[in-house]
Structure 1
Amino acid sequence: MKSNLLMDFSVNKETSTVYVKREFNASISNVWSAWTEPEILDQWWAPAPWKSKTKKMDFKEGGKRLYAMVGPQGEEHWALADFTSITPKTNFKYLDAFCDSEGHLNVDFPRSDWDISFSEQDGATFVDIAIKHENLSDLEKIIEMGFKEGFTIAMEGLDQIFAAKK
């Protein structure tokens, strides 16, 4: 089993886009499920010690996922994903936003456009993510909030789920 899995994180300030390429020791079917099924998503989506809690999810074009990041003291930060495009086991896209527990958007925080692609190579699955922000200041705000560090920890949590299945 490969232990040095690829995690490439880069920022293009000209296009206000974050790019992440991540390798997983799992089949494309298992990785797709981990990204698209709330029961699995909630096990890894938040960076430990935080937890993810999905209130509702309808994974289809035009569907939504309303979820909270729950902190160690029980604090909740809600977010909404609006699914705009789904090509099974290949790609899905959504608009991400901070919101309240009912899904009303918090306009004080930027919205981002996620494009997530899946591919298999030599027994590993690669996930390529492009997260486009409306402008550079929105991108910088997310980076300042610790997005890179938190997302890296969450990816490691997903690695643990796959390792436990082996």
Structure 2
Amino acid sequence: MKNLLFDFTVDKATKTAVITREFDADLSLVWDAFTKPELLDQWVAPKPWSSRTKSMDFRVGGSRFYAMVSPEGQERWSLQEYRSITPKTNFKMYNTFADQDGNPEMQGSDWDYNFSEENGITKVIITIYNESLARLERMIEMGFQEGFKMSIDNLEKLLDTLSQR
């Protein structure tokens, strides 16, 4: 097992969270895991929650509307709007919580995903800019850091499975 980087840094002064994670997988496979709904739904929710994409159009101006679903069936909806896409290198999106009809809440966050590969190791750097300190603090209080780490561990297992095919 390779020693893969995982770093999660919160900077309240800039209302930013930066997540850096390396994967022992091909760049195109990691890119697909972040941009295809059938793969996203397999890893993006921390267990025992699951993810269910209602709609996704991965293009500039497109969006993903999905729910995190608890084991009891409770749904927490989110809406992601894709702002820019540079295939296999970068994409940016605006993310906000929403109701089940897709109506966004007032404040959201800008997510900037950067992908690179070196010697078969793919590095993903995700920078999350929050519109307010209150939103960043709400994310932290909701267990975002722990939940995101659990999701990334799910992704690592999925990538291992897909890489062996």
- Relative to the length of structure 1, the TM-score reads 0.95
Displacement after TM superposition at 1:9 (Å): 0.3
Residue in structure 2 matching 1:153, options 135, 150, 154:
150
1:120 aligns to 2:117 (yes or no): yes
RMSD: 0.9
Please give the TM-score of this superposition, normalised by the length of structure 2: 0.96
The size of the alignment, in residue pairs, is: 163
Residue by residue, what CA displacement relative to the aligned partner does 1:55-95 show, whole Å, maximum 9, x if unpaired? 00000000000000000111111000000000000000000
Report the equivalent of 1:17.
16
Partner of 2:36: 37
Unaligned runs of 5+ in 1: none
User: What residue number does 2:83 align with?
Assistant: 84
CA positional deviation for 1:121 = 1.3
Q: Distance in 2 between matches of 1:162 and 1:155?
A: 10
1:129 corresponds in structure 2 to 126
Paired residue for 1:93?
92
Deviation per CA, 1:21-75, whole angstroms, max 9, x where unpaired? 0011110000000000000000001111100000000000000000000001111
- Provide the C-alpha distance between the structure 2 equivalents of 1:114 and 1:34, rounded to a whole number of angstroms: 16
- Please give the per-residue CA displacement for 1:85-116, whole angstroms capped at 9, x wherever unaligned: 00000000000001112211123xx3010000
Structure 1 stretches of 4+ with a deviation exceeding 2 A read none
Matched with 1:141 is: 138
Which structure 2 residue ranges, 5 or more long, are not aligned? none
What percentage of residue pairs aligned between the two structures are identical?
52
